[in-house]
Structure 1
Amino acid sequence: MHIVTSEEMRRIDRYAIDHIGMPAMVLMENAGRAVSEEVISFLEGRPGRIAILTGKGNNGGDGIVAGRHLSEAGYQVHLIYAESPDRFQGEAALQSQIAHKWGLPHYIYSEQERINWELYDAVVDALLGTGSRGAPRGVYAKLIEEVNRSGRPVISIDIPSGLDADTGQIHTPCIRADRTVALAFTKRGLEQYPGVRQAGTVIVRSIGIPQGIADRMNVNTYLIQEPLLSAKLALNEYRHRQSDTHKGTFGHVLVAAGSRAMAGAGLLSAKAALRSGAGLVSWALPMSMVEPLLGHLPEVMLQGVADEQHGDWRAADPKELIAMAQKKNAMLFGPGTGRFAQDDRFVRRIWEETACPLVIDADGLNMIAAAADFDSWSRRKSPVVLTPHPGEMARLCGRSVPEVQQDRISCARNYAVQYHVTLVLKGARTVVATPDGTVYVNPTGNAGMATGGSGDVLAGLISGLLAQGYTAAQASALGVYLHGAAGDRAVQRRCHSASLIAGDIVENL
C-alpha cells in the first residue's frame, strides 16, 4: 500500500481529474459515500444524531456529501459550518448549495452560542484536510477544542484536523479521532507517531482513483503488508523450503557481538539469526568468553577472538574477524561489543575489507558516528544495513533526537541515499529506507517490545535473512515485519505487555 504526502495526493487528484477525466464532483461524491458507510459501521448500524464539522475546503465538501448519505440512511444530521458557506469555493460551494436545497439542517458556528454536544452520537471531522498548513486558528481552533472536551466519538475525514499530514506531528489544537477514513491512499502523517495515536483506527477507502497512478507519480513510500511483500518485494513464498535442501542451502552468518558485560546481546543476535532460518551461525566473541558460554546455545558455533583476557574487544585484531568473514554469506557486527580506543578504525576495516553483506548495529553504529572520516570510506560492493534507534540515528546524522523523530521517513531516506546504505530506523512504526530512496513503514509490533535486547533480535534476524540470499531491501522489510509480528504473538501469551522480554520475541519468530 502506498503512503502519500499531501503534495503527492494533490498531484494524484489533478492527474485523475485532468488526464483521466474523472470530475472532481464525482470523486467528492465517492469520498462522501465512503465516509458515510464508515460512520454507519462505527455506530454498528444504530440510529442516532450526527454532527458534521464542515470547513470551507474540499474536506468540508466531503463532509457535506457524507451528511446527505447519512440522512438518506435515516440518521439525524446537523451540518456545523466553521464559517459562512458564502465563503466556500469550488466543489465545496456546490455541495453546500445542494445540501441547502436538500434541506439538511445547518448553522454557522458562533462562540456565543453553546453547542450541546451530548445530543450527538458521533461527530464527523471535515474541518481541515491534507492541504492545511500550521496550527488551526480562529473558529477552527475553537471548534476542535470544544469537540475534544465533549468526549463524543469522532470520525475524521482523510486526516484529523490539526495533524500534519506529512510528518504526523500534532499542532495545537488537534482533533483526537476514534477513526480516520483515509481517502484513496493513507497519508504519511497517519503512519508515523504521534499521528498514529491521534488518528485512531485508520481505514483506507477507494474513491475511484486507480492505485497505479501513485506509481506514475513516483510515490515510493509503502506500508508493509502481506500483499506488498509479494507484489513489490517479490516475496511470494518467503522462508519456503524445498524438501531436498540442506543446511548449506540457507547460508552461514557470522555474528560478531557481545562482551563480558553484555554477553546477552550476542546470544540474542545469534539465536535470532538461527530462528530466521539461516543454516549455520558462527558467533565471534572475545576468547575469554568462549568457555563460560559453551552450551548456552548449542546450535551456534563459537569462534574466539584474541582478547588478552579482557573479556572485551579492546585488544582484538580486526584481521581475525575479516578472516572469519570469508566464505560467510552475511555478517553482523556491533551488538554488545562496547566502545574501545580507536574503534572507528576497527569498524572501518570491517566495512572496507569484508566482502559479504554486512549489518551494523548498536555500538558498531556509535563507532561510525565517531568516525570523522566516514564520508571518505570506500563504498561497499556488497550491501550494508544499518539498524539505529533514534538516539543512534541522531549521532549518525549530527542532529537531536527530537529532530530525527520530527520526520522519521525523510531522515531515514536522506541518510540511506547519501551513504548508499539500507537504513532501518527502529521504533514505533520502524522505517526501512533503501539507497534508491524507497521507504517501507512497518505497522507490526507493540509497546511491550520497548525492552533491552529487542534490537539485538532484529539485527540477528536481518542478518540471517541476508545470509539466505534475500536482498538488503527484502531482508530489512521482511525482518522488521516478522520481528513486529513475533512481538505481537508473544504479547498475547503474557498477562501484560510490560512483561515482554526480548527472548519472548525470539521464541515467536
Structure 2
Amino acid sequence: MKAVLSGKEMKEFDARSIKGYGIPSLVLMERAAMAVAEKAEEILEKERAGTVWSVCGFGNNGADGVAAARMLFLKGYDVKIVFPQRDGKGSEELEAQLNVVKRLGIPVMTAEDLSDLVEKKIPAQPFRKAGERKRSCRGVILDAIFGIGLSRNVEGAYRKLIRWINGQEDMKVIAVDIPSGISSDNGSVMGDAVRADVTVTFGEKKLGQVLFPGRDLCGHLFVKDVGFVPESSAEREKHVQMLDREDLLRIPARMADSNKGTYGKVLVMAGAKNMAGASLLSARAAYRMGAGLVKVFTPEENRLIVQEKLPEAILSTYDTKEAEKDPENFARKIARETEWADVIVLGPGIGMEDYARCMVENVLKDAYVPIILDADALNLAAEYRELTGYFTENIIVTPHMKEMSRLTGIQIEEMKENPVRTAREFADQYGVVCVLKDAATVIAGRDGKTFVNGSGTPAMAKGGSGDVLTGVIAGLVALGLEESDAAALGVYVHGLAGEAAEQHFGVHGVLAGEIADCLPEVYRDGI
C-alpha cells in the first residue's frame, strides 16, 4: 500500500525534510535531477539519439530541469535550455543552477527563439497510448515548466510552449514530477497540458497522476526516492492510499481442516426476468473469489439458466406476480433468505418494479450483515429517497458516476473534478463505504480511509463488469475482511483480473464472465 499525496501535502512533505530536518534543498534537487537525467539517458541510448531540449519554468521545477540538462550536457549530449520568456523572476535555486550552466556555455533561449513555435491545439485525448513508441525519435524533451504547485489555467507564452512540446512528434517527452498543465490534486487539464511519454516523480505519487486525465497524460510513471525523510505509519495513513500487489497477501489463506461453511455464505439478490446474467456474474465472481456457499435469489424465470450455467450455486426463486400481489408474504420470504446469509449482494438487474422496491426496503430494514448495494438498488434509493434513511455502517454502495449523480443531484462533470471529495462526503454523510466507480475508482471507507485504484484496463468497459465487482467484494467479506478493506481490495483485484483477461482476449474481446474466471490467476500468483 502506497500513499498518494495532493499538491499541498507534497509541499508539506518536502518542507518537512528541508526545514524540519535540515536537508538542503539543493541536495534534494540534485538527486531529483539525476533521476530525470538517468531516465533521459536510458531513452537516448535506446533510440540512438543525441538531442535534448530542457523546457523550464522559473520555479524549482524549472531548476530541476536546468540541473538535469547540465548533467546530460556533461555526458556529451547536444543540450539546449528554453524558457517561456526573458523577464521571468526565478527562484533562488533556479538562479544557482543557471549560474552553473552559463559558465559551462550551455545555450539558454526563450520561446521566441523557436522558429516552429505555432499554435497547435492539444487533442482531447492523446494521439497514441501513453508511452507508445513513436515512429522515430531524434531526442528527448524535458518538461520542467510547472511542477505540482500550478493553481490557475495556463496562458500566454506558457501555453504556446506546451503546445510546441506536444507538436514535436519525433521527440520523447519526459515530464519532471508531473506534466505541465495538470492539476496535482485532481488530474484535470488546466487550460492546456503536456502529453508525456514518461513522468519521473519524486517521493510519492500525486493524486493528479492517478486520476484521469492526468493519469493518461503522465505516460509511464516512475517514482524516485530522492532523499525525503519518510513519514511515520500513522502519518502515512492520513493520506489517500493506493494498493499494490503486496496487498494480495491480505486475502486469507484456506485452512487444511476447513469446510464450505468456513468461508462464508453469500446471498446474491439479483436479476429480473431476462436479466439472469447479472445474478450469474455476481455469484460466479463470489465463488471465484473464495466464498464457501453462494445462493442466488432471483425470479422463477431465471431458474433454468442459473442451474445450467452455475450448478454450484444454491437457488431460491420467487414469482414476481405473487410478490406484487402479496408483498407481506414476499417480505417474509426475503427475511428467511437474509437470515441465512453472512453477506448480501443486492440490486444487479432487479429492475424498478414495486416488488424490487419492496425487496430493497426489507433487506435494508431488517438485515444486519454487510450489504453490497449496486445498480437498480441504488436507482431505487435515488427515486425513493426514504430508502437512504436505512443506510448505515453495514452498507457498501457501488455507484458509477451516473448512479452517483442520481443519488446526490450533483452533475457528473462536477464530480469528475474531484471524485475523492465526492466519495468521501457521501461516505461521511451516510456512514457507509462508498465505491465510486470510474476509470480510476475511488473508495471511501470508514474512519476516514480513502483509496484510489490503480489497476484495470479499458477492456473492462463492458456490460456486466460491475456485477462481477459486487461478487468479488462479497467474496472477500465472506472470507472475513472488514467492509472498507474488502471494498478497496476487491476493486484492486477486479482490476487485475481485467488486466489478465485482456492478455488472453485482447482489449476489445473481454467479456465480464472472463474477468471473473481470471480472478484465481490474480490471487494465485499474488499469494
Shared fold (TM-score greater than 0.5)?
A: yes
Cross-structure match for 2:89: 87
CA-to-partner distance for each residue in 1:484-505, whole Å, 9 max, x for gaps? 11111111122x3212111111
Q: More displaced, 342-351 or 274-283?
A: 342-351
Aligned partner (choices 458, 465, 468) of residue 476 of structure 2: 465
Q: Which residue of 2 is the match for residue 500 of structure 1?
A: 510
SS of alignment partner, residue 80 of structure 2: strand
Write out aligned runs for 1:240-279 (5 A).
240-279=253-292
Q: Which residue of 2 aligns with 1:17?
A: 18
Aligned: 1:303 with 2:313:
no
Match among 130, 134, 141 for residue 159 of structure 2 = 141
Taking the aligned partners of 2:376 and 2:472, their CA distance within structure 1 comes to 18
User: What displacement does 1:398 show?
Assistant: 1.2
Superposition pairs for residues 372-411 of structure 1, below 5 Å? 372-374=385-387, 376-377=389-390, 379-380=392-393, 383-411=394-422
Describe the superposition over 1:147-179 as per-residue Cα deviations: whole angstroms up to 9, x where unpaired. Answer: 111212210011111111111111332111111
Change in 2 beyond 3 A, CA 1:311/1:300: farther
Distance 2:326 2:500 in 1: 36
- Does 2:431 correspond to 1:420? yes
Q: Scaled by the length of structure 2, what TM-score is found?
A: 0.89
Say if 2:348 and 2:377, in contact at 8 Å, map to a contact too: yes
Distance 1:112-1:357 versus aligned 2 partners, 3 A rule: closer
1:312 and 1:224, CA in 2 relative to 1: closer, same or farther beyond 3 A?
A: farther
User: 2:282·2:470 contact (CA, 8 Å) conserved in 1?
Assistant: yes
| Residues 309 and 291 of structure 1, relative CA distance in 2, 3 Å threshold | farther
Name the SS of the counterpart of 1:40 in structure 2.
helix
Deviation at 1:359, TM superposition (A): 0.5
Deviation, 1:70, is: 1.3
Counterpart CA distance in 1 for 2:281 and 2:236 is 42
Is this contact kept in 2: 1:154–1:176, CA < 8 A? yes
Distance 1:340 1:30 in 2: 62
In structure 1, C-alpha distance between the alignment counterparts of 2:116 and 2:74, rounded to whole Å:
28
What secondary structure does 1:436 align onto?
Answer: helix
TM-score, scaled to structure 1? 0.92
8 Å CA contact retained: 2:18, 2:24: yes
Match of residue 334, structure 2, among 321, 324, 327: 321
* Number of the residue aligned with 1:29: 30
Choose 16-25 or 334-343, whichever is displaced more. 334-343
Separation (CA, whole Å) in 1 of partners of 2:305 and 2:443: 36
Displacement of 1:247: 0.8
Q: Distance in 2 between matches of 1:374 and 1:260?
A: 24
Alignment of 1:154 with 2:155, yes or no, is: no
| Counterpart selection for 2:50 from 30, 45, 48 | 48
Find 1:222's aligned residue among 241, 249, 258. Answer: 241
Find the residue that maps to 1:43 and give its secondary structure: helix
CA 1:428/1:316 → structure 2, altered by over 3 Å: closer, same or farther? farther
Q: Deviations over 1:4-60 (max 9, x none)?
A: 111101111111111111111111111111111111123345451100001000100
Secondary structure in 1 matching 2:296: strand
Does residue 366 (structure 1) correspond to residue 358 (structure 2)? The answer is no
C-alpha distance in 2, partners of 1:35/1:478?
A: 33
Report how far residue 210 of structure 1 moved. 2.9
Match of 2:220 in 1: 201
1:286 corresponds in structure 2 to 299
Aligned-residue CA RMSD (Å): 2.5
Deviations 1:85-106 (A, max 9, x none): 7621221222212222233221
Q: CA deviation at 1:267?
A: 0.9
**Corresponding residue number in structure 2 for 1:232:** none
Amino acid at match of 1:73: K
Change (3 A) 1:141 1:313: farther
1:153 match: secondary structure: strand
Structure 2 CA distance for aligned equivalents of residues 24 and 191 of structure 1: 26
- Quote the Cα distance in structure 2 between the aligned partners of 1:154 and 1:291: 56
Pairwise CA distance, 1:372:
2.5
Q: Write the letter of the residue equivalent to 1:179.
A: V
Question: Counterpart of 2:121?
Answer: none
Q: Secondary structure at the match of 2:40?
A: helix
Question: Are residues 112 and 324 of structure 1, via their aligned partners in 2, closer, same or farther at CA, if it must alter by over 3 Å?
Answer: closer
Q: CA deviation at 1:64?
A: 0.9
Letter in 2 for 1:385: I
The residue number in structure 2 matching 1:436 is 447
AA paired with 2:370?
P
SS of residue in 2 equivalent to 1:456: helix
Q: Identity percentage over the alignment?
A: 34
Aligned partners of 1:112, 1:466: CA distance in 2, in Å?
59
Cα pair distance change 1:220/1:119, threshold 3 Å: closer
